Amino acid sequence: MEREMIVILDFGGQYKQLIARRVRACHVYCEIRPCTTPLEELRALAPKGIILTGGPGSVYAPDAPLCDPGLFSLGVPVLGICYGAQLMAHLLGGQVRSAEISEYGRTQLWIDGPGSPLFQQVPRETTCWMSHRDYIAALPAGFIATAHTPACPTAAMEDTCRNFYALQFHPEVLHTPEGTEMLRRFVWDVCGCGESWVMDSYIEEQVAAVRAQVGTGRVLLALSGGVDSSVAAALLSRAVGKQLVCVFVDHGLMRKGEADKVKAVFGPGGFDLTFRPVDAGERFFAALKGVTDPEQKRRIIGEQFIRTFEAEARALGEVDFLAQGTIYPDVVESGTGSAGAVIKSHHNVGGLPKDLSFSGLVEPLRPLFKDEVRELGRKLGLPESIIRRQPFPGPGLAVRIVGEVTPDKVRIVQEADAIFQEELQRFDVDTGSGQFFAALSNLRSVGVMGDGRTYEYAVVLRAVSTEDFMTATAARLPYELLDRCMNRIINEVDGVNRVLYDLTSKPPATIELE
Ligand code: XMP
User: Is 172 annotated as catalytic?
Assistant: yes
- Chain mean position to CA 74: 32
- At 467 the pLDDT is 79
Contact 222, 150 (CB under 8 A): no
- At 174 the pLDDT is 87
Q: Please tell me the distance between residue 251's alpha carbon and the centre of ligand 1 in angstroms.
A: 17
- Chain mean position to CA 198: 20
Ligand 1: residues with CB < 6 A are 298, 344, 346, 348, 391, 393-395, 399, 435, 469, 506, 510-512
- At 470 the pLDDT is 82
Q: Please tell me the distance between residue 226's alpha carbon and the centre of ligand 1 in angstroms.
A: 13
Closest of 313, 221, 317, 305 to residue 271, by C-alpha = 221
- At 469 the pLDDT is 85
Q: Please tell me the distance between residue 393's alpha carbon and the centre of ligand 1 in angstroms.
A: 5
**What H or E segment, with its residue span, contains residue 200?**
helix 199-214
Contact 23, 6 (CB under 8 A): yes
Residue 392 Cα: closest atom of ligand 1:
22
Terminal-residue alpha carbon distance, the chain: 45
Contact 363, 324 (CB under 8 A): yes
Q: Please tell me the distance between residue 437's alpha carbon and the centre of ligand 1 in angstroms.
A: 13
User: What residue's CA is closest to ligand 1, atom 8?
Assistant: 393
- At 351 the pLDDT is 61
User: What residue's CA is closest to ligand 1, atom 24?
Assistant: 391
CA distance 136 to 274: 60
φ, ψ for residue 21, nearest 5 deg: -65, -40
User: What residue's CA is closest to ligand 1, atom 14?
Assistant: 393
Q: How many CA atoms lie within 13 A of 243 on its CB side?
A: 18
What length does the chain have?
Answer: 514
Q: Tell me which DSSP letter residue 485 carries.
A: H
Across the beta sheet with 125-138, the strand order is 29-34, 5-10, 49-52, 78-81, 164-167, 156-159, 144-148, 95-111, 125-138
User: What residue's CA is closest to ligand 1, atom 16?
Assistant: 346
Instruction: Render each residue's pLDDT in the chain as its tens digit; 514 residues.
Output: 578 999 999 999 888 999 999 999 999 999 999 999 999 999 999 999 999 999 999 999 999 999 999 999 999 999 999 999 999 999 999 999 999 889 999 999 999 999 999 999 999 999 999 999 999 999 999 999 999 999 999 999 999 999 999 999 999 998 999 999 999 999 999 999 999 999 999 999 999 999 999 999 999 999 999 999 999 999 999 999 999 999 999 999 999 999 999 999 999 999 999 999 999 999 999 999 999 999 999 999 999 999 999 999 999 998 999 999 999 888 887 654 344 567 777 655 556 667 777 889 999 999 999 999 999 999 999 999 999 999 999 999 999 999 999 999 999 999 999 999 999 999 999 998 899 999 999 999 999 999 999 999 999 999 999 877 888 999 999 999 999 999 999 999 999 999 999 999 998 999 999 9
User: What residue's CA is closest to ligand 1, atom 3?
Assistant: 510
SS3 category, 68: coil
CA distance 314 to 354: 13
- Pocket test of ligand 1: the residue of 293, 346, 466, 505 to mutate, having most ligand atoms within 8 Å of its CB, is 346
- Chain mean position to CA 458: 31
b/e per residue 464-486 (b: at least 16 CB within 10 A): bbbeeeeebebbebeeebbebbb
φ/ψ bin of 331: left (φ > 0), alpha (ψ from -120 to 50), beta (otherwise): alpha
Residue 513 Cα: closest atom of ligand 1:
2
Amino acid at 49: G
- At 276 the pLDDT is 97
**What H or E segment, with its residue span, contains residue 138?**
strand 125-138
Residue 395 Cα: closest atom of ligand 1:
17
Closest of 131, 118, 129 to residue 54, by C-alpha = 131
User: What residue's CA is closest to ligand 1, atom 10?
Assistant: 393
Sign for the pseudo-dihedral over CA of 178, 327, 53, 23: negative
Pairing of strands 473-474, 452-465: antiparallel
Q: Please tell me the distance between residue 356's alpha carbon and the centre of ligand 1 in angstroms.
A: 27
* Catalytic choice (90, 170, 193, 312): 170
User: Is 170 annotated as catalytic?
Assistant: yes
Q: Please tell me the distance between residue 228's alpha carbon and the centre of ligand 1 in angstroms.
A: 15
Q: Please tell me the distance between residue 145's alpha carbon and the centre of ligand 1 in angstroms.
A: 44
Closest of 429, 402, 420 to residue 499, by C-alpha = 420
CA distance 246 to 220: 6
* Catalytic choice (172, 178, 372, 456): 172
Reported pTM: 0.86
Amino acid at 292: T
SS3 category, 167: strand
